[in-house]
Structure 1
Amino acid sequence: MVVAGREFRAHRTFREPVVAGEGVTAVRTLGDYHPGVKGTVNDCNIYFLDSGKPGATVLVFGGTHPEEPAANLTAELFVENARVEQGRLLVVIRGNRSASTYTRNGEAYPTFYRIPTPWGEKTYRMGDRCSSPLDSWPDPEVYLHYPTKQMLAYMDIRNLNRAWPGRPDGLLTERTTFAFMELIRREKVDVFIDLHEAELEYPVENTIVAHEKAHGVAAMTSMVLTAQEFPVPIGMEFSPVALRGLSHREVGDNSDAMSMIFEVAEPFLDRIRGITDETLLLEGKDEFVKKAGEHGLLYAPMDDSGWPIAVRVGRHASTVLQTLETFNTMETPERQILVSGVPRYAELVDKGLGAFFRDPSGVPQDRVFYE
């Protein structure tokens, strides 16, 4: 019990250093937008990259489900590398920090994973899909989504992507999404992008799920990336009107922002996987998942090359950048956002993800923040 307790505490209290790149002009916290999360485990950082020139405001959102590491790694990639020449870019790395402080019960997840860089390994917490029961308790027998009262599974009251648009006096996850909605409304966000990964057995895979406000941008982005950049196509799907609580539906319905989520394949999450270790998480190779693909049981291709983390982050990075480029073609010049400095798919696959992360010990400490 003592040994396990030490490991649990080390994981829960571990802090991930992030270097604020040259483009970061301010860092606020979620508690600035709703006192209900101020000082809680979910009072996460909000990174502002403001060009100072009028234009669109875009929010890139990582960490909804911390068992999907390509999401928070992509968000961190933007924080450390992006430069904004017009408009504003807001980035969230750990949207549900609570869910990153423990791992899924009974699944033998590794507690940490490590990304090799030119200056050494960078360590990250592995997490679960939902907020920790230590931070949100008790779960109801049936979760009634607010405000629609749609009935969902009991644990989904701790699932950030079932708790939008939230409520100010709810349990922790509901208060968290309410605070993010306040952020979106107060900062007048024009485009909201929620980053995810999914098991290959799940049909919503390698796709953009778009609210009706974003259908044009998502469709054009999908076509361009499939034709010009990705060896595995990226699709586009409509956000279901009848399924409540998801960000792509509720953000679009409850704000002026066009909302989308991006999905990429993560074999680590498949139920038919083999050993659930750090190697599978980062290399994305598994003989059992591959065999399932040979029998036509998957919604994404799976071969000996697998789905390495650089491929998954590369797809997310290019999809974000192409979405912004597509958005700009549909807006007037004064309503655009111009972002540079972020590597795209081919460069990430060629050089590896770690090549684009900075050494926290080699920069002024006032430029280092913790997740």
Structure 2
Amino acid sequence: MNTKDILYKSSLTAATVALVLWGGLPLFRHRHHDVPVVKGPGVTAVKRLSEYAPGLAGTAGDTFVFVLEGKAPGGKALIMGNTHSNEPEGMLSALVVIERAVVEKGTLYVIPFFNNSGSRNTRAGDGYPLYFDVATDWGARRFRYGNRDASPLDQWPDPDVYIHYPERQLLSYIDVRNTNRTWPGRPGGPLMERVTFGAMELMRREGVDVAVDVHGAETMFPVTNCIVAPEKSVKIATLASLTVKAMEGFDNHVEPSPTGFRGLSHREIGDHGPALPFLLEAPIPFLDQPTGPKTVRLLLDGKDPFLLSLSRKKKLFVPYDESGWPLDKRVGQNLSVTLEILKQFTKKTADKPIAVRGVPRYADVVRDGIGRYLSDPAQAGPGAVVWN
């Protein structure tokens, strides 16, 4: 091999390595970027989901469970955010509860990053941002922007077809990494089945009465701006939906949980345990397909000219105008609906009250912005910050 060939191959190798580093380093940093969670005045304990499912220990499926126990006994509720990590309104709603709520009666269990692996993943080919910043009174607070499904780095390979356990319904191969298709899970299954099994074990062992799974959905998808509930939960869901619509002025309706579609939280939690499940959906224009570039701005303000055009042609399932559908509005909706579900449950089950104060409602978040209700990690006391 002559000198010219050596130089050519060395240059080609160096260029390849440089290209891999240029593309790979941002993804590496994103995967290892930890988000601070400030323990608010109501947090009484912090656990790991692996305490309920040992098969999660040491994996990217393990995640934090924040416990807010009231001074008086009562009912128990589980709130989950980030089941789909590209729907940040769920995670932010959970964080506000952790950092602001004080429970007077009963107990809350809050999991802000339910699909921890998905929050460290991104959607290849769609131009998703890796991070987004929320403005606060003390500066910007940065969060990872993840993907709907868990990272293939943590669970691989995907099957040709995902066979749901235990119903054996055939689902898409990608659903094996979707934590809203793997309920109720099993201790020795794929990683995401172990995650949902851990949540089921938490509910069984702790005697959880209410489970709220917080999501976001496209404006072109009919199941949005709603509460999805099975038969056992539908009365409370209906009362909560009618109340927020009448008293707080935002649209909301109830969608029935289908009996023939397996693996979803709003179906399997109730079928495999005593808890009453509810899944919340708020419109997130970022996830719609006919939009402009997938920018942080679109994620935060929900303004898109293509969706506006479709709205004028009555092609969307929610009201949409020049104001878009901002993150503050989405988080506010989810918080109000969650609080109303707990209130209606307390009315129905007086011997198991769940009383919570300190959590803002829709009008508060829309007026003040979500950042007003996020704590400054730099000002937190020793041991008050959990890094996720």
Same fold (TM over 0.5): yes
Matched, 1:191 2:192: no
Q: In the alignment, which residue of structure 2 is the partner of 1:50?
A: 69
The Cα offsets for residues 116-167 of structure 1, whole Å up to 9 and x where unpaired, read as: 1111100000010000011010100010000000000000000000000011
2:177 is equivalent to residue 158 of structure 1? yes
1:301 shift after superposition? 1.3
2:356 to 339, 347, 354: 339
Q: What's the counterpart of residue 288 of structure 1?
A: 306
Equivalent residue for 2:168?
Answer: 149
Structure 1 counterpart of 2:215, one-letter code: H
Aligned-pair CA distance for 1:112: 0.2
Q: Which residue of 2 aligns with 1:257?
A: 275
Instruction: Name the residue aligned to 1:32.
Output: 51
Q: CA deviation at 1:365?
A: 3.0
Q: How many angstroms apart in 2 are the aligned matches of 1:316 and 1:150?
A: 31
Contact persistence 1:230–1:315 (CA under 8 A): no
Aligned amino acid, residue 131 of structure 1: A
Match of 2:376 in 1: 359
CA distance in 1, matches of 2:61, 2:189: 14
Amino acid of the structure 2 residue aligned with 1:62: G
Aligned to 1:316: 334
Does the alignment pair 1:350 with 2:367? yes
Any idea what SS the aligned residue of 1:329 has?
helix
Encode CA deviations 1:196-235: one digit per residue, 9 max, x unaligned. Answer: 000111110100001211111000011111111133x100
Residue 99 of structure 2 aligns with which residue?
80
Amino acid at match of 1:132: S
- Among residues 289, 292, 295, which one is paired with 1:277 in the alignment? 295
Q: In the alignment, is residue 203 of structure 1 matched against residue 184 of structure 2?
A: no
Shift of 1:52: 3.4
SS at match of 2:72: coil
Partners of 2:311 and 2:287 lie apart in 1 by 15
For residues 33-182 of structure 1, the aligned pairs below 5 Å read 33-182=52-201
Moved over 6 A (4+): none
Q: Between Structure 1 and Structure 2, how many residues are aligned?
A: 369
Identity of aligned residues (%): 44
The answer to whether the Cα contact below 8 Å between 1:131 and 1:158 also exists between their aligned partners in 2 is: yes
Structure 1 Cα separation of the partners of residues 308 and 170 of structure 2 = 36
- CA–CA distance in 1 between the matches of 2:148 and 2:234? 27
Cα deviation code 1:216-270 (max 9, x no counterpart): 1000011111111133x10001111111000000000111100010000000000
1:316: how far off? 0.3
> Structure 1 counterpart of 2:211, which letter?
F
Alignment counterpart, residue 3 of structure 1, candidates 16, 22, 26: 22
Aligned pair 1:23/2:42, yes or no? yes
Q: Secondary structure at the match of 1:113?
A: strand
Contact 1:80 1:357 in 2 (8 A): yes
Q: Return 5+ residue gaps in structure 2 as ranges.
A: 1-19
Q: Letter of the aligned partner of 2:332 in structure 1?
A: G
3-state secondary structure, aligned to 1:366: coil
Answer whether contact 1:101 1:125 (CA < 8 A) is retained: yes
Q: Gaps spanning 5+ residues in structure 1: where?
A: none
- Please identify the structure whose Cα radius of gyration is greater: 2
